[in-house]
């Protein structure tokens, strides 16, 4: 047996991919060769989806075609809506999203077709359907009827509109679209790895995405953004930041939204969302959540910077979503609505060059035991 005992597959390369590159030391994130700052500044989420799936930016004709396909797919089967109506209204939205994704697999006539064209078609449908599941569930649990999407609007616009039926503010749409781009992929994170492991058995795309959603649900992965907002709510006021962090440090507690397995510099996604969260708060006349978030960073960052711990993408997304009026328990479903694009890109890449994953573990149990009759134990 080896002396080295790796934990969590850290620094273990398990696949080759042309989808996403991360330089953790420099704080750089790249999709298909394009720096994330360039994409957020110039591209739409729909363009980024095409880029991740096809390896190149779309032409105007290709983008128009994709938007038409997404618009066609922005409808939920009546059987699924009936299922959502029957679920307990206190069900966790991520659990509902998992159930709905599995159900969509049973209702999709191409679910078990494994051709590249069929998998791309399913990716497009899921990208349109998961946001609609989220907003539909949000309204149903509050006794409200779902709102029909507007075909001529973007996925970001329709998500915000689908929550309350009000035309969303232009900058809120821009910020939400940027958040979708920022969360669209992140190399071989836990949920993407989970999806690829499922796909490697040649299970179908819906099953693999369901696996990914279950993985994203965990508080150490997608659920971290909800934990940041919970922390801010506990702090309550800007004046309470200092004593809250002091108490946290004294008790050796964890400040949510800090630290990342890969980044040893400030997460580039956090830098972008920091700027947009500030602007969003100023436009809305509600800077409380941004100011509290920045104060937490100012107090805590000097304590942990030498350890290579910096704010991650969850840190500033929480205050941005709060100002947009998005409930805390929808933060992680939004993550899934974005990351489904990246999951599907990885799944199609896995199917194209597949080998089943079969790692080994280092056995630490006993040996040489002999069976003892039950009456003698």
Closest listed residue to residue 101, CA positions, set 86, 122, 116: 122
Other C-beta atoms lying within 10 Å of the C-beta of residue 286 = 14
Q: Which of 260, 286, 329, 346 is catalytic?
A: 260
Q: How far is CA 121 from the centre of its chain?
A: 21
314 counts as catalytic: yes
In the chain the beta strands, taken as DSSP E runs, fall at 20-23, 28-31, 34-35
- Bridge partners (DSSP) listed for residue 22: 29
Helices H / strands E in the chain, number of each: 16, 3
C-alpha 8/C-alpha 193 separation (Å) is 12
DSSP state of 264: S
Q: 156 CB contacts (<8 Å, ≥6 apart)? A: 45, 173, 176, 177, 180
Task: State how far the alpha carbon of 240 is from the alpha carbons of 289, 290, 302, in Å.
Answer: 13, 14, 18
C-alpha 158/C-alpha 216 separation (Å) is 23
Closest listed residue to residue 335, CA positions, set 78, 130, 44: 130
C-alpha 274/C-alpha 4 separation (Å) is 39
Q: How far is CA 299 from the centre of its chain?
A: 27
Q: 4 CB contacts (<8 Å, ≥6 apart)? A: none
Token representation of residue 149? 């999407």
Helix (H, G, I), strand (E, B) or coil at 274: helix
260 counts as catalytic: yes
**Residues catalogued as catalytic:** 260, 314
């Amino acid at each position: 047996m080896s002396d080295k005992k790796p934990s969590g597959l850290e620094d273990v390369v398990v696949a080759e991919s042309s989808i996403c590159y991360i330089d953790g030391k420099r704080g750089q994130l790249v999709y298909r060769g394009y720096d994330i700052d360039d994409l957020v500044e110039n591209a739409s989420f729909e363009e980024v989806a095409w880029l991740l799936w096809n390896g190149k930016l779309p032409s105007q004709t290709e983008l128009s075609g994709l938007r038409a396909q997404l618009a066609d797919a922005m409808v939920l089967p009546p059987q699924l809506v009936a299922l959502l109506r029957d679920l307990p209204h206190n069900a966790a939205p991520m659990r509902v999203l998992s159930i709905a994704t599995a159900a969509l697999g049973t209702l999709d006539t191409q679910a078990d077709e494994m051709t590249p064209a069929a998998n791309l078609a399913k990716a497009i449908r899921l990208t349109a359907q998961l946001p609609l599941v989220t907003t539909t569930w949000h309204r149903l649990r509050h006794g409200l009827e779902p709102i029909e999407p507007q075909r001529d609007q973007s996925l970001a616009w329709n998500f915000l509109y689908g929550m309350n039926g009000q035309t969303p503010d232009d900058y809120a749409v821009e910020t939400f679209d940027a958040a979708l781009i920022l969360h669209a992929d992140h190399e071989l994170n836990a949920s993407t790895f989970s999806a690829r492991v499922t796909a490697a058995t040649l299970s179908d795309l819906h099953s693999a995405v369901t696996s990914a959603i279950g993985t994203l649900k965990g508080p150490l992965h997608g659920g971290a953004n909800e934990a940041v907002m919970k922390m801010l709510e506990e702090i309550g006021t800007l004046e309470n930041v200092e004593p809250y962090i002091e108490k946290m440090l004294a008790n050796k507690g964890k400040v949510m939204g800090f630290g990342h397995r890969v980044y040893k510099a400030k997460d580039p996604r956090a830098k972008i969302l920091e700027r947009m969260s500030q602007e969003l708060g100023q436009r809305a006349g509600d800077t409380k959540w941004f100011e509290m978030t920045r104060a937490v960073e100012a107090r805590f960052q000097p304590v942990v910077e030498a350890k290579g711990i910096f704010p991650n993408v969850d840190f500033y997304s929480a205050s941005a979503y709060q100002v947009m009026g998005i409930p805390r328990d929808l933060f992680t479903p939004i993550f899934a609505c974005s990351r489904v694009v990246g999951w599907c890109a990885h799944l199609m890449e896995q199917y194209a060059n597949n080998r089943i994953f079969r790692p080994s573990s280092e056995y630490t149990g006993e040996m040489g035991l002999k069976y003892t009759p039950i009456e003698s134990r």
